[in-house]
């Protein structure tokens, strides 16, 4: 019937447009994210000249934000570009996950890329700690205590990641500026060459981030001695925070995230039923995590 044929063609055309859009998105997402990464690295280098990860770190950060000339700009730029980089990486990974890209890659390659994606978020997390406010201080403390829960190697692991006493911020600083970015670049070495940003992506990313840094103020921070009845960590760990409110730290903080990561990284090695189980488990897990995050933030 003509009605059916017409609607069938409409459906086909919509699908074509959407496919084109998604293909375009797939092309530019990673380029934009790498552009953001470059901006983050450059602004980070500039900030490193004034940032000191010892003594009164909160005072140091506040002075960068309000006293040092152009400090507000570089701080906002570094913060925004870092967040944009991580969000775009997440979208890029989701994009290729939905397309079952893991089926076409070797386990080794997928493993490196997945680990690299995880590293992105730990770079952001160490950056969150380094802000020196109450949120960052508690986030670091929680990480230290979670690491101590690891059987056998817990104490050693926590000593390697967060310092004690006055050296609290120094180790996260080394991770944030040196170890993790180097690790990231190493793990993604081939990938970076493939997705190096073109001038168009660079312009768009720079322009958007620059305008953001001129217009949007940094979120206000609580001084480390302040009293508050409710505090949240970084947005990407809100789900874990919500889990930690209800379940034991070992399960909510270590085991479940590790399980999720293990499942994600092992995707290329699975086949048949197991692959489908893993895929749907991961999707459900991500969905639940999103719901928990929203619940904690808004309710």
Binding residues for another protein (CB under 8 A): 46, 49-50, 56, 58-59, 62-63, 65-74, 198-200, 202-203, 206-207, 210-211, 214, 217-218, 220-223, 226-228
Phi, psi torsion values for 71, nearest 5 degrees: -60, -40
Minimum distance from residue 73 beta carbon to another protein (Å): 6
Minimum distance from residue 208 beta carbon to another protein (Å): 10
Identity of the residue, 118 or 208, whose beta carbon is nearer to another protein in the bound complex:
208
Instruction: Specify burial of residue 7 (Cβ count, 10 A radius: 0-12, 13-18, 19+).
Output: exposed
Q: What is the residue-wise DSSP string for 173-196?
A: HHIIIIIHHHHHHHHTHHHHHHTP
Minimum distance from residue 45 beta carbon to another protein (Å): 9
For residue 111, give every residue at least 6 positions away whose Cβ sits within 8 Å of its Cβ, in sequence order, or none.
Answer: 265
Identity of the residue, 14 or 56, whose beta carbon is nearer to another protein in the bound complex:
56
Minimum distance from residue 199 beta carbon to another protein (Å): 4
Minimum distance from residue 107 beta carbon to another protein (Å): 38
Identity of the residue, 65 or 158, whose beta carbon is nearer to another protein in the bound complex:
65
What is the C-alpha separation between 296 and 230, in angstroms, rounded?
Answer: 11
Instruction: Taking each helix axis as running N to C, give the angle between helix 199-215 and helix 2-48, from 0 to 180 degrees, rounded to the nearest 10.
Output: 70
137-172 burial, b for 16+ CB within 10 Å, e for fewer? bbbbebbbebbbeeeeeeeebbeebbbeeeebbebb
Identity of the residue, 1 or 215, whose beta carbon is nearer to another protein in the bound complex:
215
Number of helices and strands (H, E) in the chain?
A: 14, 0
Minimum distance from residue 63 beta carbon to another protein (Å): 6
Identity of the residue, 7 or 56, whose beta carbon is nearer to another protein in the bound complex:
56
Q: 147 vs 143, 166, 236, CA distance in Å?
A: 6, 19, 18
Identity of the residue, 213 or 252, whose beta carbon is nearer to another protein in the bound complex:
213
């Amino acid at each position: 019937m003509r009605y059916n044929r017409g609607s069938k063609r409409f459906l086909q055309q919509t699908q074509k447009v959407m496919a084109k859009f998604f293909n375009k998105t797939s092309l530019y997402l990673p380029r934009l994210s790498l552009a953001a990464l470059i901006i983050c690295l450059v602004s980070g280098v500039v900030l490193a000249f004034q940032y000191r990860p010892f003594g009164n770190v909160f005072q140091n950060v506040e002075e960068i934000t309000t006293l040092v000339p152009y400090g507000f700009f570089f701080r906002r730029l570094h913060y925004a570009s870092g967040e944009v980089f991580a969000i775009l990486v997440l979208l890029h990974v989701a994009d290729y996950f939905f397309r079952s890209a893991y089926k076409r890659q070797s386990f080794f390659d997928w493993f490196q890329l997945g680990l690299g994606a995880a590293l992105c978020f730990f770079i952001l997390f160490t950056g969150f700690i380094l802000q020196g406010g109450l949120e960052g201080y508690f986030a670091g403390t929680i990480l230290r205590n979670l690491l101590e829960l690891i059987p056998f190697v817990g104490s050693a692991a926590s000593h390697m990641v967060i310092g004690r006493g006055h050296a609290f911020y120094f180790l996260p600083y080394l991770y944030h500026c040196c170890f993790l970015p180097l690790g990231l670049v190493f793990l993604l070495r081939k990938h970076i060459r493939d997705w190096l940003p073109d001038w168009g992506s660079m312009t768009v990313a720079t322009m958007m981030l620059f305008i953001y840094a001129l217009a949007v103020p940094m979120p206000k921070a609580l001084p480390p001695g302040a009293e508050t009845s409710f505090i949240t960590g970084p947005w990407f760990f809100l789900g874990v925070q919500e889990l930690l409110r209800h379940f034991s730290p070992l399960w909510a903080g270590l085991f479940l995230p590790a399980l999720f990561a293990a499942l994600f990284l092992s995707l290329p090695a699975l086949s048949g039923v197991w692959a489908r189980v893993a895929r749907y488990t991961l999707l459900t897990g991500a969905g639940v995590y999103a719901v928990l995050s929203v619940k904690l933030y808004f309710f």
